[in-house]
């Protein structure tokens, strides 16, 4: 017998076995105990599978609710940060406690001394230094 691994194939196989024992009354007394046990397992499996499907639906519903709460929570967090920034000022270092970057003075970039003058170029050239002497 080939190995069957899909749950639907297994339940189909179990139903087939139960029906086969019912169609063969001469075999029924020999396998009655095993048939009844298989029928119990089939019933338990179907009950658990229905519960699993129900929980999957509930999980999806809860996931949607979680996403909704996250969106609302983010909006409230933005409002709190805005109020704090407005109350204590946009430059106050205490904003760091609320995960808000305060406005800070930027250091001035040092002024570099001018480098050598660029080499002469011929007007209309592609911007590369001229190899011809200018006359």
Q: What is the DSSP string of the chain?
A: -----SHHHHHHHHHHHHHHHHH-TTTHHHHHHHHHHHHHHHHHHHHHHHHHHHHHHHHHHHHHHHHHHHHHHHHHHHHHHHHHHHHH-TT-GGGGGGT-PPP-PPPPPPPPPP-PPPPP--TTS-SSPPSSPP-
Question: What is the percent of the chain with per-residue pLDDT over 70, rounded to a whole number?
Answer: 83
pLDDT at 110: 83
pLDDT band at 115 (very low <50, low <70, confident <90, very high): confident
pLDDT at 57: 93
User: Model confidence over 88-105: pLDDT tens digits?
Assistant: 999 999 999 999 999 998
Question: What is the percent of the chain with per-residue pLDDT over 90, rounded to a whole number?
Answer: 68
User: Model confidence over 14-24: pLDDT tens digits?
Assistant: 999 999 999 99
């Amino acid at each position: 017998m080939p190995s069957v691994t899909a749950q639907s194939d297994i339940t189909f196989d179990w139903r087939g076995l139960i029906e086969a024992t019912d169609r063969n009354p001469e075999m029924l007394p020999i396998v009655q105990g095993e048939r009844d046990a298989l029928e119990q397992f089939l019933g338990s499996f179907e009950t658990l599978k229905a519960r699993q499907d129900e929980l999957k639906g509930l999980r999806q519903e809860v996931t949607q609710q979680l996403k909704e709460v996250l969106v609302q929570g983010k909006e409230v967090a933005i409002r709190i940060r805005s109020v704090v920034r407005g109350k204590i000022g946009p430059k106050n270092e205490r904003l760091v406690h609320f995960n808000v970057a305060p406005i800070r003075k930027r250091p001035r970039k040092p002024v570099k001394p001018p480098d050598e003058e660029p080499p002469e170029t011929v007007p209309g050239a592609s911007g590369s230094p001229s190899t011809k002497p200018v006359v």
